[in-house]
Amino acid sequence: MTLNELYKDLDYVNHSREKRAYYAQLIVDNPEALRHVLEILFMVDDPRSNRAGWLAEFAIKEDMTIILPHLDYFTTHMHTVYQDSALRPVAKICEYLTTSYYKHEHPETKKKLLSNHKNHITECGFDWLITDQKVAVKAYTMSTLYYLGTEIDWIHPELQRIMEDGYHTGSAAFKARCRHVNKWIKKFNKLQS
């Protein structure tokens, strides 16, 4: 599948689960095509960028390993995404990566997700939390930063400060995720003592 073919096919990808699942399976079956999906995702001013994000998210959810060869590209370009409908899948992919690495301890993810990738994800995550983003981006990011904070000791205190600062003005969903992540942090801290 070439970049041009994929670009044209993205016209047929929409919000329906059926369409996203169909095209995501094409990517899972042809993992080298994920690079093209990411290239389109990072065409941030293109209307197909968000569709590429949906497709990447669905494909990576199906098979986490397909993103691993592209971590350098993904993590060094993710900061460029700004459209809400494209940024949400990027934040979700970061959550998938950190969950795979820290919670599931997936051997391939443990081998491929390096400190420079974690640093890019951390930097973007904090940027997303302190800027005006939709609650889904912030919720996925809080989980991502929680997992990274189990390894990088300064992250949890900073994350808690940001959650506390935004709690009183945040939506009900934001507040619920804050409570949830705070419980994780307290449990983690108790286990570390």
Contact 64, 106 (CB under 8 A): yes
User: What value does the mean pLDDT take over residues 16-39?
Assistant: 89
pLDDT of residue 78: 98
pLDDT of residue 17: 77
The tokens for 80 are 């460029």
Q: Is the pLDDT of residue 77 over 80?
A: yes
What is the Cα 167 distance to its own chain's centre?
22
Its domain, for residue 92, covers 79-193
Q: Is the pLDDT of residue 44 over 80?
A: yes
Longest CA–CA span in the chain (Å) reads 55
User: What value does the mean pLDDT take over residues 34-44?
Assistant: 96
User: What value does the mean pLDDT take over residues 116-144?
Assistant: 97
User: Do 52 and 121 reside in the same domain of the chain?
Assistant: no
pLDDT in tens, 5-24: 777 877 777 777 787 788 88
What is the Cα 192 distance to its own chain's centre?
27
Q: Looking at mean pLDDT, say which of 20-24, 54-58, 144-148, 163-167 comes out highest.
A: 144-148
Instruction: Report helix, strand and coil shares of the chain as percent, to nearest 5.
Output: 80, 0, 20
User: Do 145 and 119 reside in the same domain of the chain?
Assistant: yes
Closest CA to 150 of 105, 109, 111: 105
User: Do 138 and 96 reside in the same domain of the chain?
Assistant: yes
Domain final position from 63, 97, 117: 63
Q: Is the pLDDT of residue 1 over 80?
A: no
Domains contained in the chain, number: 2
- The structure's pTM equals 0.94
Distances (CA, A) of 162 to 42, 56, 66, 182: 28, 29, 33, 12
